Amino acid sequence: MMDQRTVVKVRIMGEEYTLRTEASPEHTRAVAEHVDRTIRAILSGSSTMETHKAAILAALQITDDLYRERQAMEELGQDMRQLASDIRPLLPPTKRGDDAGAP
């Protein structure tokens, strides 16, 4: 199998990083820009915070956002499964997707 990694240079907090990634360069740059914006937003709220501490807080914030989105997706999936379960008896037997309509 061929390795499809590309090299992308990004800048975060004025530092250049060379990343090897399977993601597109556009995606990788967007992710790096999001990290940079998040760190800068944290630093703008404090005149004395060190950059590495702001980076840790940014990582925590971004991870919290990720976990909340995952939870929301799980809840949406549960809601969709429940809706499908509620609707299934209302469908004609041939459209239910089970063996109820089989002869």
Other C-beta atoms lying within 10 Å of the C-beta of residue 99: 7
Between 56 and 3, the more confident residue is: 56
Q: What is the pLDDT of residues 4-30, one digit of tens each?
A: 899 999 999 999 999 999 999 999 999
Q: What is the pLDDT of residues 31-86, one digit of tens each?
A: 999 999 999 999 999 889 999 999 999 999 999 999 999 999 999 999 999 999 99
Sorted by where each begins, the domain ranges of the chain are 6-90
103 pLDDT more than 60: no
Residue-by-residue DSSP string for 23-75? S-HHHHHHHHHHHHHHHHHHHHT-SS--HHHHHHHHHHHHHHHHHHHHHHHHH
Phi-psi label, residue 10: left if phi above 0, alpha if psi -120 to 50, beta otherwise: beta
Closest CA to 15 of 57, 41, 51: 51
pTM confidence score: 0.75
